[in-house]
Amino acid sequence: MTARGFTHEPPHSLTVEWYTPPHVFDALGLVFDLDPCSAGIGLDYVPARERFTVLDDGLSQIWSGTVWCNPPYGDQTAEWLQRMKLHGDGVALVFARTGTRWWHDVAPSADVCCFVRGRIRFINGSTRAVAKSPGADSVLLAWGSRAAHAVLRSDLGHCVTTIP
C-alpha cells in the first residue's frame, strides 16, 4: 500500500545556498543598491551594486539604499527581517510563514506584501540545478516607495498594501 496524505518537509535544508531565479529580478525591474546576503559576484543572479557575503557578515554591516534580502532561512530569518524593517527600504523574499512570531512582528511594517503565485523553484548554489518545488509558498515584503512600486508592477502574485 502506498502512503497517502500529507508529507512533511525537513526542518532544515542541507545547504543554505539557494539562489533566487533570474525571472524574479526581471519582473521587479530593479537594480538594488545592496545585497547583504550575497553568494558573491557572479555566483547568484541578484542585480546589486554592492554585496556582502557571509565572510562580511552582512547583518552587522551598514546598509544603504534599496536592499535586496533573501536571508538564510531557518533560525536567522527573524533577525534579518527585523533589520529590513528597521532599514525601511528594499525587498525581502522569504517563505510565507504567516503563523510565525517574526511574520506578525515584521509583515505589518511592510508597504507591500506580495504572495507569490506558485512556488519559486530556487537554484541550488552547489549544483546550479533548479530545485524541485519547495515545501512552502514565498512572499515578497517591500518597504519604501521604489521597492513597493516595483513589487506591485511585477505581476508575481497577489499583492496587499498597508493603509497609512
pLDDT grade for 22, boundaries at 50, 70 and 90: very high
Rounded-to-10 torsion of CA 81, 139, 71, 99: 60
* 44 vs 124, residue with greater confidence: 44
pLDDT grade for 8, boundaries at 50, 70 and 90: very low
| Helical ranges in 1-159 per DSSP H | 22-28, 77-87, 101-106, 145-153
Arithmetic mean of pLDDT, 79-86: 97
Domain ranges of the chain: 18-161
Q: What is the per-residue burial (b if ≥16 Cβ within 10 Å, else e) of 121-139?
A: ebbeeeeeeebeebeebbb
pLDDT of residue 132: 64
Q: What is the CATH number of domain 18-161?
A: 3.40.50
Q: Are 92 and 69 in contact (CB under 8 A)?
A: yes
The cell numbers describing 28, all together, are: 521587479
